[in-house]
Amino acid sequence: MRVVQAYRFALDPTPTQERALRSHAGAARVAFNWGLARVKAVTAQRAAEVTYGLTGDELTPSISWSLYSLRKDWNAAKGTVAPCWAECSKEAFNTGLDRLAQALKDWDDSRKGKRKGKAVGFPRFRSKRKSGLSVRFTTGALRCEEIPNPRYLSCALRKLKRLSRTVSRRHGPDRRTGRRPSNRWRRASAALGKAHGRVADQRKDSLHKLTSRLASEYATIVVEDLNVAGMLRNRRVARHVADASFGEFRRQLGYKAAWHGGRVIVADRWFASSKTCSGCGAVKAKLPLSERTYACAACGLVLDRDVNAARNLAALGRRELAGSGPDSNGRGAGRQTSPGVQVAVKRQPGARKRGQTGTVPTQEGTAA
């Protein structure tokens, strides 16, 4: 059964943080009022010109009410309208413009009979004293994390070898002769089993903590479908691959992401994440496993091969999200701070790519 969970958090900001939140909410109101004033001015001018007998191309050019057009015009005028615009996030101004675009669309659809329900009036200017202070942060680029493989088996290998030698020197059971195991063999065998159990428990605990953190922090996670069975046939890496538990990691990530209302994007096994340059897109014909640094002959990019692959997976995640529509960017959550100030955050989390663990979600400034 699919369970979708939502959470509401009450923030407790410091006085400085509260001032910053109020400043961002004010920036959203400024952008809304600027856009509305511009729309009303052009509309009134065109209506006046019609009374003068002007028609067609003689009228003042109309302006688009779409968010893209409003944002484009704002970027051109923000230096004059809001000289201190750089002190606030661009998301604050985008919040106001987005609300204006939606309000104008609702009014137009209601006027034309395309919108059900109660009639919607033309948008009004937002008052500094009467309007609720709110701002929404909707962007959050996919970023990548470097998560190393703990290698619990490798760390305990020396102790396991010693205990195994101790067991082999004791008199164990023999079905052919009917010999019964000695008490010393039983104690040595129990110690060996306990050491193996400790490694298994450490791996299980680490996987649960990692997958729980990723599923709770990121709404979209990209993983790569690896040929694990083929990797296990390589005697040089088989132990490390088995120690990483790729299959269990992916299984836990799948159901935990569903619990939190998130999404796991699985890259195809033949997706050339390691061979493709994350800078220019050039694809290498061959890339031996021994080459741990990716060097692109086309653009000169040089970086760790796992980071390069993680960035390619993050780009794949962005393309998947862009092609799925505006409502596929992950979960959103309403967050309330002090009375009158609301902050809505929509997060996009991270994609994962294999590194030392085999799957790794790196940070590009904005997880793969």
pLDDT of residue 2: 63
Q: How far is the first Cα of the chain from the last one, in angstroms, to the nearest whole number?
A: 27
pLDDT digits (tens, 9 = 90+) for 222-272: 998 888 888 889 888 899 888 988 889 999 999 999 998 888 999 988 888
What pLDDT shows up at residue 327?
A: 43
The tokens 């955050």 sit on which residue?
Answer: 345
User: If DSSP codes are grouped into helix, strand and coil, which group holds residue 360?
Assistant: strand
* Residue 335 in this model has a pLDDT that exceeds 70: no
Tokens at residue 353, please? 């790519």
pLDDT in tens, 278-320: 888 899 988 888 888 999 988 888 988 888 999 999 888 888 8
Which amino acid appears at position 116 of this protein?
A: K
**pLDDT at position 275 over 70:** yes
pLDDT for the residue numbered 132: 84
Residue 9's H or E segment, with its range, is strand 9-10
The SS3 call for residue 151 is coil
Helix pair angle (183-217, 152-169), 10° resolution:
170
Q: Is pLDDT of 30 > 60?
A: yes
- Which H or E element spans position 264? strand 263-267
Region 191-196 average pLDDT: 95
Nearest of 338, 353, 333, 359 to residue 278 by alpha carbon = 353
Q: CA quadruple 26, 30, 36, 37: dihedral positive or negative? A: positive
CA atoms of 173 and 133, how far apart (whole Å): 77
Please give the distance of CA 138 from its chain centroid, rounded to a whole number: 12
Reply yes or no on whether the pLDDT at 5 is more than 60: yes
Going by C-alpha positions, the residue among 98, 94, 77 that lies closest to residue 27 is 94
Q: What is the mean pLDDT of residues 334-340?
A: 40
**What is the chain's mean pLDDT, rounded?**
82
Q: Strand 332-336 to strand 341-346: parallel, antiparallel, or no bridges (unpaired)?
A: antiparallel
Look at residue 323 and tell me whether its pLDDT is greater than 80. no
Decide if pLDDT at 357 tops 60: no
pLDDT at 252 (0 to 100): 93
pLDDT reported for residue 318? 86
Q: Across-strand partners of 261?
A: none
pLDDT in tens, 141-184: 556 667 788 899 989 999 999 999 999 999 999 989 989 999 99
Of the candidates 153, 245, 244, 251, the residue with the CA atom closest to the CA atom of residue 197 = 153
- Encode pLDDT of 34-52 as tens digits: 999 999 999 899 888 888 8
Residue 140 confidence class, pLDDT cut points 50, 70, 90: low
| pLDDT over 90 percentage in the chain | 35
Cα separation, 150 vs 21, in Å, equals: 40
What CA–CA distance (Å, rounded) separates 179 from 165? 20
Judging by beta carbons within 10 Å of its beta carbon (0-12, 13-18, 19+), is residue 15 exposed, middle or buried? exposed
- State residue 26 phi and psi, 5-degree precision: -65, -35
pLDDT above 60: residue 368: no
What average pLDDT does this structure show over 116-142? 82
pLDDT higher than threshold 90 for residue 97: yes
Give the model's pLDDT for residue 362. Answer: 34
With beta carbons less than 8 A apart as the criterion, state whether 342 and 136 touch.
no
- Tell me which H or E stretch contains 238: helix 238-244
DSSP state at residue 129: T
CA dist 224 and 313 (Å) reads 8
